[in-house]
């Protein structure tokens, strides 16, 4: 099956570094399409150039965060992009066969994860390392069956999981296309999305050697010593950083 890897991204100083690292990981993954979806109103030429250079089959799209949410102190990050990917896939006259995975641009992926999620028949789950100050977030199994979750924050969620901790078969989107969407609710994106899918506990496929391995890490890159202004990719004027001898 084809892997549909959906990566939300947005302009900041680290963007090209993150996408370069992720692209170089994905170069090792066969039979996949990379959806790189920008939180922007114009396609970034830097992102476009990077995608062309790597020759990974890709779709570059725009799905900016709607303005009503952009003033919030906690923004729902990556949600409009993931919904755009879902809508794009559902809009195909023949929804493709394959497996969908939400891969944020700043996480770290072990190649074994990609071969593992390819087997997803309905929904698969697996541990994610380094979540919210904790060592990991993970499904908990007993005798090979899912009995619960471990996560640093439960927040009354039915599915206390990280975005990087599950993959779904595309068929899951087509069963009730009107209900599948990710809510614009910080902290509840995964939970809301998973609640919109139809599956039972018994359907959950535990990957990463029965959830005993960490093959994806929720990493973040923040260059603390840098100036705090937001880097605009269109801004090539480095005058503000230049001091004459």
Binding flag, residue 106, ligand UGA (CB under 6 A): yes
- Gap between the Cα atoms of 12 and 93, Å rounded: 36
Choosing from 190, 202, 209, 244, which is the catalytic residue?
Answer: 190
- Gap between the Cα atoms of 23 and 36, Å rounded: 10
To the query of whether residue 115 is one of the catalytic residues in this protein, the response is no
State which of positions 49-78 bind ligand UGA (CB under 6 A): 75-78
- 75 makes contact, choosing from Mn ion, ligand UGA, none, with CB < 5 to 8 Å by partner type, with ligand UGA
Binding flag, residue 189, ligand UGA (CB under 6 A): yes
- Residue 106 among known ligand-binding residues: yes
Binding flag, residue 186, ligand UGA (CB under 6 A): yes
Q: How far is the CB of 32 from ligand UGA (least distance, A)?
A: 17
Nearer to Mn ion, 83 or 169 (CB): 83
Q: How far is the CB of 156 from Mn ion (least distance, A)?
A: 23
Binding flag, residue 106, Mn ion (CB under 5 A): yes
239: phi then psi, degrees, rounded to nearest 5:
-50, -40
Taking contact as CB under 6 A, which single stretch among the options 46-54, 116-124, 181-189, 194-202 is the one that binds ligand UGA?
181-189
- 83 makes contact, choosing from ligand UGA, Mn ion, none, with CB < 5 to 8 Å by partner type, with none
State which of positions 200-239 bind Mn ion (CB under 5 A): none
Contacting residues for 227 by C-beta, under 8 A, at least 6 apart:
241
Q: How far is the CB of 221 from ligand UGA (least distance, A)?
A: 9
3-class SS letters over the chain = CEEEEEEEECCCCCHHHHHHHHHHHHCCCCCEEEEEEECCCCCCHHHHHHHHHHCCCEEEEECCCCHHHHCCCCCCCCHHHHHHHHHHHHHCCCCCCEEEEECCCCCEECHHHHHHHCCCCCEEECCEECCCCCCEEEEEEECCEEEEEECCCCCCCCCCCCHHHEEEECHHHHHCCCCCCCCCCCCCHHHHHHHCCCCCHHHEEEHHHHHCCCCEECCCCCCCCCCCCCCCCCCCCCHHHCCCC
Taking contact as CB under 6 A, which single stretch among the options 137-145, 166-174, 186-194, 232-240 is the one that binds ligand UGA?
186-194
Binding residue for ligand UGA, selected from 25, 104, 137, 139, defined by CB under 6 A: 104
Binding residue for ligand UGA, selected from 4, 8, 129, 137, defined by CB under 6 A: 8
Active-site amino acid positions: 190
Q: Which residues bind ligand UGA (CB under 6 A)?
A: 8-10, 39, 75-78, 81, 104-106, 162-163, 186-187, 189, 218, 220
């Amino acid at each position: 099956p084809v892997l549909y890897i959906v990566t939300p991204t947005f302009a900041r100083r680290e963007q090209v570094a993150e996408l370069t690292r992720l692209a170089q990981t994905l170069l090792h993954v066969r039979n996949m399409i990379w959806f790189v979806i920008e939180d922007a109103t114009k396609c970034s030429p830097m992102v476009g150039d990077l995608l062309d250079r790597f020759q990974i089959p890709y779709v570059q799209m725009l799905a900016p965060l709607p303005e009503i949410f952009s003033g919030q102190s906690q923004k729902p990050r990556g949600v409009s992009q993931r919904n755009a990917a879902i809508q794009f896939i559902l809009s195909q006259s023949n929804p493709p066969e394959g497996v969908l995975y939400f891969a944020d641009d700043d996480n770290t992926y072990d190649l074994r994860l990609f071969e593992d999620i390819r087997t997803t028949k309905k929904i698969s789950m697996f541990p994610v390392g380094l979540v919210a100050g904790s060592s990991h977030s993970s499904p908990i199994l007993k005798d090979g069956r899912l009995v619960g979750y471990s996560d640093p924050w439960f927040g009354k969620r039915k599915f206390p999981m990280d975005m990087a901790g599950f993959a779904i078969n595309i068929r899951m989107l087509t069963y009730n296309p009107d209900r599948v969407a990710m809510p614009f609710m910080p902290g509840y994106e995964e939970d809301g999305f998973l609640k919109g899918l139809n599956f039972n506990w018994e359907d959950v496929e535990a990957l990463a050697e029965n959830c005993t391995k960490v093959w994806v890490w929720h990493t973040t890159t923040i260059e603390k010593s840098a100036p705090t202004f937001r880097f605009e990719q269109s801004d090539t004027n480095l005058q503000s950083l230049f001091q004459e001898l």
